[in-house]
Structures are given as structure tokens and as C-alpha cells.
Chain A
Amino acid sequence: MKSLEELKKIKDKTKKKTNTEKDTSLTRILVGMSTCGISAGAKPVFDEFNTLIKDKELKDISVTSVGCLGECSIEPMVEVYQNDKRYTYCEVNKEKAQKIFDEHIVNGNVVEDYLIGQYRK
């Protein structure tokens, strides 16, 4: 890295790829995969999303493993970012992941039962 301009190029390029702001058709699925998430069972959830996307050959959607969001007692947590909207699902397992995928990602119907509001005031 020789200059700030060079750094900025990377920033802009990556922002496009991971854009979570308005005007994007991109869907991002973030799976909390820190030690806490993993021990609560995040790995199969992460794998499940990846398999489902591959099977359905979906585009403009990515699954990313991220760090911990702090809510250790309701892990594994999965966050779905669409446009400027953010959805936090808790205590996700493989079956729940399937349902979130089928109903929310594919059909656009948020799965209220698993949302954080059911777990936290």
C-alpha cells in the first residue's frame, strides 16, 4: 500500500460488493461464527445456507461468517441485510435456516417467530 487513494479504491470496490445501503438488489446473510456462535452450533447453519444457495443457483446473495454480536445466550444468530433493512434471527439451527431461506430469502416473507423480538424486549 503506497497511498490513501489506493486504499480508497479498495474501500469503494468492497462497499459495492457488500453494499447494504439502499438501491441494491444484494442480499447478505451474516452468520455469527465466533467461538460462542460455533459452540452454539453456527457451523451447520452456515453450511446449510451455502448449500441452499448453491442448489437454487441464486445470484446476488452472499453468506458471510462474522464475529460476535454480543448476545451469547441466543446464538446462533443470523442477520439478513436487504436494502437498508436488517433482520436478526436467533437460536437458528439447520431446520430454522431452511425455513428462513425458503420463506424469507426466496419468498420475501420474514419469519417472525425467530426474530430477535421474540427473545429480547
Chain B
Amino acid sequence: MAKVAKSLNEIKSFPKQTRIALRNCGLIDPSNIDEYIARDGYFALGDILKNKSPKDVVNEIKESGLRGRGGGGFPTGLKWELTAKEKSDRKYIICNADEGDPGAFMDRSILEGDPHSVLEAMAIAGYAIGANQGYVYVRIEYPRAIKRLKAAIKQAREYELLGENIFGSGFSFNIDLRLGAGAFVCGEETALIASIEGERGMSRNKPPYPAQKGLWGYPTCINNVETLANVSAIFNMGAKEFAKIGTENSKGTKVFALAGNINNIGLIEVPMGTTLREIVYDIGDGIDGGKAFKAVQTGGPSGGVITEEHLDTPIDYESLKEIGSMMGSGGMIILDEDDDMVKISKFYLDFTQDESCGKCTPCRIGTKRLYETLEKLIDMNGTPEDLEMLEYLAKSVQKTSLCGLGQSAPNPVLSTLKYFRDEYEAYANRTKRTAYFIEEDVCIGCTKCAQVCPVDCIEGEVKKPHVIDPEECIACGACYDVCPVDAILKP
């Protein structure tokens, strides 16, 4: 027997990963600030307050090439610079910990495993842009993260790492929590701001951007949890070192939540530029049950699918966009040959039409109609014209919606239409099989299938081709599994 891997760092996927945002997760006691400090925590803040100007800080982040991990990929240094540039006696920094993507839990992990890395980064950002108040907007469904954050803020205050005159520098900074009720749209920055202001969580038009007019009308910088978790690491390792990781335009690492039909479900952090193939096969250890890979859905309800032909695409913001998907916040769902792409689209549209804030016409009604069109297709009531209408409507919703939710809601439809149009056409032309099917010329008439069928819908004489009654078939696949000559086709 081969030597058994004793620890995480001995398993095959370990060398493929680079832990920056997750550097402390699982290694320190998140409820003890000392352990964070023991791993160089708050040294970056101290050094900055003692030795650097706000401009230096902005420049260093710009140099690192860090981009927003919340989905948009906006350059963080530039965002800080824009907010810093605004003249105002009051500014805010907000940490977006709403994480509403179904299947995503990167931010939750960071907040639960290493809350101080976010707090320290907020203080650094506050210093850089000239804000003295920060808010962490966290969804109420994350009670453990909330508990950790509360404790961490309290400890940081006790150590005077938050509060007045930090490190004797004259810089003061405080952080408070704001709890969100868990609507997906509240992760969108303008809806998030509305929610903190006590209004209904509805998006607002941009421009003006939060950097110009944000919380209560003041310049506001909003960053994602993972983005912030990179910040003090950048100062500790040096912006140049950080910029060595990743690709030309996407620096550093990205945390993904692997899910779907893959052997190793979990959280991974990989350098930008890693290929999907490496993620799926080396880190994720391939598809569960030996099925064939079909596609990866990235970016959740706002993203799209990536197919076999693009498995070698290095992951970065631009290349994912080019192939019709997006980085998104980091959800990554592996789909196999049995997954029905039209149904996958419907699943996402069901989510977005329900989560639409209801403010603007294309998103409120358009996503509903898109969903219903998919439903019509799946129920075998569709026509080829419906496909055209679907595409047309999807593009219109994308172009005219007010906020990112509506603008990206059609992505799953458009990207699956692009790569799996045949599946849509099968529905639209009503040639889609909903039952298993026996190929006449392959069947040897062994009767095994008829014996296992739980609803007795397979008929045929011994040694003659058998036939499945498509009306009765419940698509359980029992026949498929027992056929010795692979004569049965999946629906």
C-alpha cells in the first residue's frame, strides 16, 4: 500500500493552491486576536499609519493589480483612488458580506475563519480614502460570521486597533455591523446602500457611483470580503510579489466554491491563470461516478457555462468574459452529461425572477417572461419562434435593466443558448426525448430491461428488439444500467 497522505499539504491538489485570502483560515483561532497578530496581523496597518501616506497606500494597491472579488472585477486601487479624490468631510467604507449567490460561501468562510483580516483591511482602506467609519453589511443568515465579527470588533477596539488615534497616528476608524435580511439584490452595491439607509433594498441608478454619492450621499467605497482579505497580505508580501501571481490583467488568487457533480466538493484558492481543467480534474478530482464532463457554470445566476472546448482557458476576468461567462463571486458548479441545460437555465431564471427587486421593467417582468418561456419549452409547448423571442428578450433585458442583477440575469440563458442550442431546439421542435429509448438494431432481446423496469413499460419478445413506452417511462434509468449491449439511449 502506498504511503498515506498524513495532512492536507501532502495531498495531490495542495501544490495547485495558493492561500492568500484564506491564509489563516483553519490555522488560527478566529476568536482570539492574538493568534491573528501572531501571524503578522495588524502589522501592515501599523506600518502604514506610521510610515505611509494615503497616496502611498493607494499606489501600492494599484501596483498589486488587485481587482474586486465581488463579481465585477473593478480595480481596487482605482476605486480607492476615486473615492479618495472626492472632497467631502465624511466618507464611508463598506464591506460587502451579503453573499447571496446560491452555492457560494467563500466570504462566510473568511469571516468565520479570519475576521480580523477584513477589519484590518477596512482600516487601511479607510486611511487611504479618508473615511473614519466603516460598515460590514452581512446577511442575517450568517449567525456564526456575525458572532465572530462582533467579537473581533470588540477585541480590536480593546487593543485600540480600532477607535481613536490608532497607533498614535491621529487616524481614527470605527466599524459597525449592519445586518441584511438576505435578499440577493442587497449584494448589489446601490441596493446595499439603500438597505443600510433603512430604505427598501432597491437598486439605484449609476452614475452617480457610490464613490461619488454613496451612503447618505457621501463618497463611499464598497469592497467585497475576499477583496479585503487580500489587502494586508499584499502589504506584508509587497505589491510586487503579489503581482507576480496570476495573469497579465488578473493578479493574485481567487477563491472558488466547487459544487455540483464533482468528487471533491469544497473551497479552493488558486492563482489566477489556473485552467479549469486543473481545477476540475486535479483539484476537484474529476466527475463523480465516472460520468462525462459537460460544462462548468461560473458566476452563479449572473454567469454562464464553460464547455469542454474551453477547459484549458486560464481563469481570469477577461478570458471568462470572452467565452460568455464571468468570474462572478466564485461559485463553480460542475455539470455532467446527464444535466439538461435548458433546465439549468430555468433554475437560475427562477432564482433571479424571484430575487428581482421589482423596480425596473425589464428585470421585474422580463425575467419572469424568460422563465415562463423556458417553462413553456420544457413542457413541450414551445415553438422555434419561442427560441428567437427568448434570445431577443434576453438581450433586451441585459441591455436595458437598471442594475447588475437584471443586466446579468439573462447570462445563463444566453450562454447555454450559445453552446447548447441543440438542446433548446430539441424542446422547441418537440423532438426532445423524455423517456429512455432502445435502439432497435443494437438490442439483442435479452429481456433484462423488461425485468427490471419498475413500471413495466418495456415490451418485447425474447431475442427480438424491445420497445419502451415513452408515455409510461419514468426515466429511472434501471434498464440503462442492466443492458449488456448498451442498446439503451438516455433521454
A: which residues have CB within 8 A of B? 1-4, 7, 10-11, 13-15, 17-18, 30, 32, 34-36, 38, 64-73, 77, 79, 85-88, 110, 112, 115-118, 120-121
Contacts and interface: CB of A to CB of B under 8 A. Distances in A.
A11 B40 contact: yes
B455 interface: no
A120 B38 contact: no
A79 B108 contact: no
Nearest to B168: A2
A14 B38 CA distance: 6
B160 interface: yes
B80 to A, nearest CB: 23
A87 to B, nearest CB: 5
B233 to A, nearest CB: 16
B167 A3 contact: yes
Contact of A88 (B6, B22, B31, B142): B6
30 contacts: A1-B167, A2-B160, A2-B167, A3-B46, A7-B46, A10-B34, A10-B38, A14-B35, A34-B108, A36-B105, A65-B29, A67-B26, A67-B28, A67-B113, A68-B113, A70-B268, A70-B269, A71-B266, A86-B6, A86-B7, A86-B9, A110-B6, A115-B4, A115-B6, A116-B5, A116-B7, A116-B8, A117-B4, A120-B12, A120-B264
A118 B268 CA distance: 20
B81 interface: no
What does DSSP make chain A's interface, helix, strand, loop or mixed? mixed
A11 B168 CA distance: 19
Interface centre among A2, A38, A69, A86 (most CB of B within 10 A): A69
Q: Which 5 A-B pairs have the closest CB atoms?
A: A67-B113, A117-B5, A117-B4, A69-B26, A70-B267
Contacts of B159: 1
B13 interface: yes
Nearest to B115: A67
Interface string B114-137: 100000000000000000000000
Nearest to A32: B26
Nearest to B46: A4
B30 A118 contact: no
B30 A67 contact: yes
A34 B144 contact: yes
Nearest to B19: A70
Interface of B: 3-13, 22, 24-31, 34-35, 37-38, 40, 42-43, 46-47, 50, 105, 108-110, 112-114, 142, 144-145, 159-161, 166-168, 264-269, 285
Contacts of A32: 26
Given A1-B42, A14-B38, A66-B26, A112 B4 contact: yes
Given A1-B161, A66-B29, A73-B265, A7 B10 contact: no
Contact of A121 (B11, B43, B113): B11
Nearest to B39: A11
B266 A70 contact: yes
Contacts of A118: 4
Nearest to B110: A67
A88 B8 CA distance: 6
A14 B309 CA distance: 50
Given A67-B112, A117-B11, A121-B285, A30 B26 contact: yes
A4 B10 contact: no
Nearest to B145: A35
Contacts of A110: 6
A72 B267 contact: yes
A77 B269 CA distance: 18
Given A14-B34, A65-B31, A87 B6 contact: yes
